[in-house]
Amino acid sequence: MAKLLYICASPMGERSYSTRAADAFVAAYRKAHTGDTVETLNLWKADLPEFDLTTASGKYAILHGKSHSAEEAAAWQGVVKAIDHFKSFDKYLISSPMWNFGLPYRLKHYLDIIIQPGLTFSFDPATGYTGLVTGKPVMLVLARGGEYPAGTPAAAYDHQRPYLELLMGFIGFTDIRAAVIEPTLAGPDKAEASLAAAVASLAKAAEGF
Ligand SMILES: Cc1cc2nc3c(=O)[nH]c(=O)nc-3n(C[C@H](O)[C@H](O)[C@H](O)COP(=O)(O)O)c2cc1C
C-alpha cells in the first residue's frame, strides 16, 4: 500500500485550474490504486515553521559543522518534523500557479523548509551534491495565465516549471512528470480546453503512477 502526498499551492480552491486538474489526477489515482492512501497538504492552511534568524542560524550551524544552541535546536526540530513528514510518502503530486513567472510564496516557503543539508540532500567536496529523496515519482500540475511554449522567447520567462524541476532533481527525484494548463487568462474557451486536455492526460498518467 503506497502513500501519495498531494501538495496544493493555489489559494483559489475550486476556481483554481491547477487544483481542478490535480483533483482529477487524485480521483483517477484513487480509482486505479484502491489500497493506497492520499494525504492533501494545502499550503494555504498549513502551519509552516518560519525560516527566521534562529532557524537560519540552525541551518548555518549544520553547514559549518557546529552544534546547535538550545533555541536553534528547538527551531530546527520544526524543520526536521516537516521533512520527516515529507519523506514518509512514496509518491508526490504538486499543483501550483505561476506567480510573477515563478512559484507562489507559500510553495517557496515550504521548499525552503524541506530542502536541507543532511536531510534531503548531502554535500561532499569530492563528489558534490547528492539528492537524498530517491526512487519516488513526482507529478507537477502547473497553471499559468500566459503561454510559455518551449523554443519561443516567452519560455525564458518561465521560472515556474524549470525551477520546480530543478529543485526536485536537486533533492533526488529522477522521475519528474508534468502537466501544464495555459493560458488560463486568455478567455474561458482556451482555459477550459487546456484544462480538459490536462485532465485527460492526468487521468491516464494516474493509472501508471
Ligand atoms: C499574484 C499573481 C501573479 C501572477 N503572475 C503571473 C505571471 O507572472 N505569469 C502568468 O502567466 N500568469 C500569472 N498569474 C496568473 C496565474 O498564473 C493564473 O491565473 C493561473 O491560472 C493561476 O493558477 P490557479 O488557477 O491554479 O490558481 C498571476 C496571478 C497572480 C494571482
- For the domain that residue 103 is a member of, what is the CATH number? 3.40.50.360
Report the nearest-CA residue for atom 31 of ligand 1.
Answer: 99
Instruction: Work out whether strand 175-181 and strand 137-143 pair parallel, antiparallel, or are unpaired.
Output: parallel
Report the nearest-CA residue for atom 22 of ligand 1.
Answer: 97
pLDDT given for residue 74 in this prediction: 97
18 lies in some domain: yes
Q: Which residue has the cell 520567462?
A: 157
Hey, what amino acid is at 63? L
Distance 98 CA to ligand 1 centre (A): 5
Containing domain of residue 30, as a range?
Answer: 3-50+91-207
Residue 42, beta-bridge partner list:
8
67 lies in some domain: no
Distance, CA of 91 to CA of 128 (rounded, Å):
26
Residue 4, beta-bridge partner list:
38, 91
183 lies in some domain: yes
Distance 196 CA to ligand 1 centre (A): 18
pLDDT given for residue 91 in this prediction: 98
103 lies in some domain: yes
**Ligand 1 contacts CB of residue 146 (under 6 A):** yes
Q: What percent of the chain has pLDDT over 70?
A: 100
**Ligand 1 contacts CB of residue 18 (under 6 A):** yes
pLDDT 10s digits, 168-179 = 999 999 999 999
* Ligand 1 atom, smallest distance to 182 CA: 21
Give the mean model confidence (pLDDT) for residues 85-96.
98
The pTM of the whole model exceeds 0.85: yes
74 lies in some domain: no
Backbone angles phi, psi at 116, to 5 degrees: -135, 145
122 lies in some domain: yes
Query: How many domains does the chain contain in total?
Result: 1
* Ligand 1 atom, smallest distance to 11 CA: 27
21 lies in some domain: yes
Q: Quickly state the pLDDT bin for 160 (edges 50, 70, 90).
A: very high
List CB contacts of 2: < 8 A, sequence separation 6 or more: 33, 36, 37, 90, 91
Closest CA to 161 of 136, 144, 137: 144
Instruction: Work out whether strand 91-97 and strand 37-42 pair parallel, antiparallel, or are unpaired.
Output: unpaired
185 lies in some domain: yes
CA distances from 197 to 36, 51, 97, 132, 181 (A): 26, 38, 17, 34, 8
